[in-house]
Amino acid sequence: MSGDNSERALMIFVRNPVQGKVKTRLANTIGEKKALAVYNDLLAYTLNSTRGADCHKVVFYSDFVDNNDIWNQTVFNKKVQFGRDLGERMKNAFKTMFGHGFQKVVIIGSDCPEISPALIINAFGMLDYTDVVIGPATDGGYYLLGLKQMHDALFEKKSWSTSLILSETIGELNARSIPFLLLPELSDVDEEKDLLDNDKPRLIKNT
């Protein structure tokens, strides 16, 4: 049954692309207009990396559902995030998908210009052999998290949006003896230096 897309759900967490409300750390150095352009590039890349994935796909918006954006409603279901912080919003999203009967649920953001369709499908496959899959980011966070059952503690009392979140998450898993596997480490785009990484290809052209 591992190849049945009715059991697999991919959640894509995005911010509504509004100038001044996206990529604020990046905007501090390149300006809000260019930061918005970068974020729109990241959204387009994430779209291209996910629309062909053999799974149920849901875009979770930060503020409101946009029915006239790049996310085609025939391919992507659309919902709004809810919760007091990122951890609670992620926890609620996972609970929603498990509540709909999905057996493997993966979440990604929209900040990683290196994620690929093969990597996402690999994450689902790894859940045949482990309870949790994590895609570590070079900034100390993670770009992907996959579960096959709820583990509420992974989303509670964590230092969200800091370089500690990956180590805190792994520490939680180890403390609870929850088996996990790691995907390759990739880079997110959060600051101007992330656009200037000469070691890895960048799809961001607007800066």
- Spans of all domains in the chain: 5-195
Asked if residue 61 lies in contact with residue 81, where contact means CB atoms within 8 angstroms, the answer is yes
| pLDDT at residue 204 tops 70 | no
Average pLDDT over residues 128-144: 95
What's the whole-model pTM score? 0.91
| pLDDT at residue 166 tops 60 | yes
Average pLDDT over residues 177-202: 77
pLDDT > 90 in the chain, percent: 74
Nearest 10 degrees: Cα torsion 25, 173, 87, 89: 120
Full DSSP string of 88-149: HHHHHHHHHHHHTT-SEEEEE-S--TT--HHHHHHHHHHTTT-SEEEEEBTTSSEEEEEESS
Per-residue pLDDT band for 197 (boundaries 50, 70, 90) equals: low
pLDDT > 70 in the chain, percent: 92
Per-residue pLDDT band for 201 (boundaries 50, 70, 90) equals: very low
Taken in order 70, 72, 73, 78, the sign of the CA dihedral is negative
Mean pLDDT for the chain overall: 90
Tell me the CATH number for domain 5-195.
3.90.550.10
Residue 30: the pLDDT is: 86
| pLDDT at residue 55 tops 80 | yes
Find the range with the poorest average confidence among 44-48, 59-63, 126-130, 198-202. Answer: 198-202
Per-residue pLDDT band for 196 (boundaries 50, 70, 90) equals: low
Per-residue pLDDT band for 170 (boundaries 50, 70, 90) equals: very high
Residue 4: the pLDDT is: 56
Residues 62-112 have pLDDT tens digits of: 999 999 999 999 999 999 999 999 999 999 999 999 999 999 999 999 989
| pLDDT at residue 140 tops 90 | yes
How many residues are given for the chain? 207
